[in-house]
Amino acid sequence: MSTVEYCVGTLAAVAFAGVLLKVVAGDHVQAALTAIIDRALK
């Protein structure tokens, strides 16, 4: 892979990771994960 392609691929991966982090850090997702874990532990 050429340098430009490598750079674009890396930037796309970082952008995707940022979006994923925003989604997972959201209140709705945290509440849903907490509910799932609470149900699993009961």
Sign of CA dihedral 30, 32, 34, 36: negative
**Which residues, including other chains, have CB under 8 Å from residue 9's CB and lie 6 or more apart?**
1
Q: Give the span between the Cα atoms of 32 and 14, in whole angstroms.
A: 25
Kindly tell me if the per-residue pLDDT of 1 is higher than 80: no
* 26 phi/psi in degrees, rounded to 5: -70, 155
| pLDDT tens column, 6-29 | 999 999 999 999 999 988 888 888
**Residue written as token pair 């340098």:** 3
Q: Which residue has the higher pLDDT, 1 or 13?
A: 13
Q: Supply the pLDDT for residue 19.
A: 93
Split into its structural domains, the chain has a count of 1
What domain range is 35 assigned to? 3-41
Q: Supply the pLDDT for residue 23.
A: 84
Q: Give the span between the Cα atoms of 10 and 42, in whole angstroms.
A: 42
Specify the pTM. 0.61
